Amino acid sequence: MKIMVIGGGGREDAIIKKISENKNIEKIYALPGNGGIMGEATCVDIGAEEIYKARDFAVKEKIDFAIVAPDDPLAMGAVDILEEAGIKCFGPDKSAAEIESSKVFAKNLMKKYNIPTAEYEVFSEIDSAMEYVKTCKIPIVIKADGLAKGKGVIIAMDRDSAISAIKEIMQDKKFGDSGNEIVVEEFLEGPEVSVLSFTDGKTIVPMISSMDHKRANDGDKGPNTGGMGCIAPNPFYTEEIAKRCLDEIFVPTIDAMNKEGRTFKGCLYFGLMITEDGPKVIEYNCRFGDPETQVVLPLLESDLLEIMIAVREGRLSEDIVKFSKKSACCVVMASGGYPNEYEKGYEIKIGKISDNSIVYIAGAKRKDDKLITNGGRVLGLTAIDDTLEGAVSDAYDNIEKISFKKAYYRKDIGSKALIEAL
């Protein structure tokens, strides 16, 4: 089989490494891929958002199956366009991808179908939004409606920050048209859990739970990033919570999407908060998370490509998805300064990594056989062990064997989880 993977980050490296275990694959193309992905796949110079070019490439190369990983091409309708050209795909179509690409749609869906989430108001006029935040409860959360590279959520701890957030989004158009509408939402508290799930629109199979670490600095301080590290499983996601999530959130969401005529097929990601009133949805993503994928997929014991094909064909069943009982920890190594200004172009040196560890490359390119930094999040190192404690400690032992100038990583990935687990 010839496979095409759209995307070029650490998540795509993890997807490619996992599907490579399938014996029927003769070739994998990554569009655009990155300098680290080159081992398992042929990188093609077509950007993840150049979906018509991707379609033409897929038709020319007679691609048997395509995996659309990032949010932007999914929101742009990459799956619809590829399928129309006869290319079989893993991923939701444009109408189902709206569960991520429009927060207003997602919130209204949850309200209509009684799926637990934060209380909210939607505004399309700046004046009424301003009036509202003058009297609402503080802290308050302001969210741009559309995609904003993970930066469209502002937690305002006081009224002035809420007002400036609204101005930035609606007046200065910091996130372009994504800020034409905003969601102003109740501030929730509690541990966060990410649950990725496979669904073919009839069956939903949650994967092993995980915990992202979104803030740049130790102690969950500093600006939000794409994710600085991750652990799985998440000890806050107990069996009891998992059962409630399945009954109160996961299955109702699939049913709701069907009722709206937007059957979701692909990976549906639930960003959850375990509040005192029970689990609530913080966000939906219509794709695998990054860096969640880098801890979840190494623990998957089944054939990922077979699951993806079954999802597309509506043949998903619990039995074809098996996870190991082990734990994983991924520490992201970034260019110093990320998520703000950072330098790139430095050589990455990778020493001998232990057998229970994998390096996933994200922001790097190849130059004369050398791997050179080329982005904010440069790589992630995932270690697997029987215990979470072992996985965290091995991840840190191994990441020390990797170096590049101005490298930065958090030193406390997994520490909150370890306190809960012990």
Minimum Å distance from CB 74 to ligand GLY?
13
Does the protein bind ligand GLY through residue 13 (CB under 6 A)?
A: no
Does the protein bind ligand GLY through residue 290 (CB under 6 A)?
A: yes
Choose the contact partner of 187 out of ligand AMP, ligand GLY, none; CB within 5 to 8 A by kind. Answer: ligand AMP
Minimum Å distance from CB 257 to ligand AMP?
19
The pair of three-digit structure tokens given for residue 349, joined into one six-digit string = 């040196």
| Beta bridge pairs of residue 215 | 224
Q: At what angle do helices 126-135 and 159-166 cross, to 10 degrees?
A: 170
What is the strand order of the sheet 65-68 is part of?
42-43, 27-32, 2-7, 65-68, 89-90
Does the protein bind ligand GLY through residue 145 (CB under 6 A)?
A: no
Cβ proximity to ligand GLY, 70 vs 116, nearer residue: 70
Q: Which amino acid is at 390?
A: G
Check if the beta carbon of residue 257 is closer than 8 Å to that of residue 263.
yes
Find the part of the chain contacting ligand GLY (CB under 6 A) among 60-68, 286-294, 317-325, 342-350.
286-294
Query: Which of 289, 363, 375, 414 lies at the binding interface for ligand GLY (CB under 6 A)?
Result: 289
Does the protein bind ligand GLY through residue 152 (CB under 6 A)?
A: no
Choose the contact partner of 188 out of ligand AMP, ligand GLY, none; CB within 5 to 8 A by kind. Answer: ligand AMP
Choose the contact partner of 289 out of ligand AMP, ligand GLY, none; CB within 5 to 8 A by kind. Answer: ligand GLY
Strands in 200-321 per DSSP E:
204-206, 211-212, 215-217, 221-224, 229-232, 266-275, 278-285
| Beta bridge pairs of residue 68 | 6
What's the rounded Cα separation, in Å, for the pair 104 and 107? 5
What's the rounded Cα separation, in Å, for the pair 183 and 154? 11
Interacting residue ranges for ligand AMP, rule: CB under 6 A: 118, 141, 150, 153, 155, 185-188, 192, 214, 224, 271, 282-283
Minimum Å distance from CB 241 to ligand AMP?
17
What SS3 class is residue 346? Answer: coil
Choose the contact partner of 185 out of ligand GLY, ligand AMP, none; CB within 5 to 8 A by kind. Answer: ligand AMP
Find the part of the chain contacting ligand GLY (CB under 6 A) among 117-125, 170-178, 289-297, 374-382.
289-297
Which H or E element spans position 317? none
| Beta bridge pairs of residue 43 | 30
Residues in contact with ligand GLY by CB under 6 A are 150, 212, 227, 285, 289-290, 292
